[in-house]
Amino acid sequence: MTGVQTCALPICFPVTIRHLVSQSRYTLRVDEFAGHVSTYRGLSVEAIKGLDAKVFTASKAKANGLVDEVMTNNEFAAFVAKVHKDTLNEG
């Protein structure tokens, strides 16, 4: 949100310094989060920001490259057990 005031008919609220500082902190957190996701998912920061922090169904999250697989609870529990077992065997 930019500008001197925010309007919703018929009421206008002036944008305060506090609001601008809050917005600045929010933007920094979005940038940090998008950078983190970009690093670990192989997607550009712009692509992550383009998702507008929406909530996705599992299939849509997979289509957007945000998850590798869609699993049931039992499938995920078996996956975690296998990864844990493989990690123990490596060490």
Sign of the alpha-carbon dihedral angle for 51, 57, 58, 60 = negative
Q: Residue 2: what pLDDT?
A: 43
Strands 5-8 and 11-14, by their bridges, are antiparallel
For residues 4 and 78, give the distance between their C-alpha atoms in angstroms, rounded to a whole number.
Answer: 55
pLDDT per residue of the chain (91 residues) written in tens, 0 to 9: 444 444 444 444 555 666 666 777 777 788 888 898 889 888 999 998 888 878 889 899 899 998 888 999 999 999 999 988 888 888 6
Sequence spans of domains, the chain: 1-54, 58-91
pTM, two decimal places: 0.50
